[in-house]
Amino acid sequence: MAEIRRVKESDVDTLVQLVHDLAAYEKAPAECRLNAAKLHTALFGEHPAVFAHVAEQDGEIVGFALWFLNFSTWRGVHGIYLEDLYVRPALRGSGLGKALLATLARECVENGYQRLEWSVLDWNPATGFYKALGATAMDEWTVYRLTDTALDNLARTA
């Protein structure tokens, strides 16, 4: 039986490994620069801005949801942006992903947040799972991102 719970400081090393596993699954392992110090500060530092839940089975962390608050100007309230959802491959289809998402949905409802959002790669087979939960693909929206040199260049123009 799996338990979904909030992340603890002692979970950080395992979470970092799972994030790297996710990056490998998404065919971008070289882009993952997360380490335990960075994640520990983000989750447990003086001003934590990232939150996480883990799925633990038989004393082992086998999945996680890492998230942060966003804000909808149109609705006038916060929501949750799910940065990463990951379940070890051997346990996919076991209900752990749904349990993690249900926990975040409950977090939204209990706190008056009106959105739970996330991005998914087009080729990810989980898109069918998300649609079955009632999630709507925001096909008319395109994600834009600035990183590395482009981010530095723009910052210098301010």
Convert 102-128 to b/e letters by CB count within 10 Å (16 or more is b).
ebbeebbeeeebeebebeeeeeeeeee
Yes or no: say if 81 and 70 are a contact pair by the CB < 8 Å rule.
yes
Upper half-sphere CA count for residue 72 (Cβ side, 13 Å): 14
Which residue in the list 81, 86, 113, 130 is annotated as catalytic? Answer: 130
φ/ψ (deg, to 5) at 88: -50, 140
> Catalytic: 130?
yes
Place of tokens 């981010």: 151
Q: How far apart are CA 157 and CA 13, in angstroms?
A: 38
Backbone angles phi, psi at 63, to 5 degrees: -170, 165
Q: Using CB atoms within 10 A of its CB, is residue 65 exposed (0-12), middle (13-18) or buried (19+)?
A: buried
- Catalytic center residues: 130
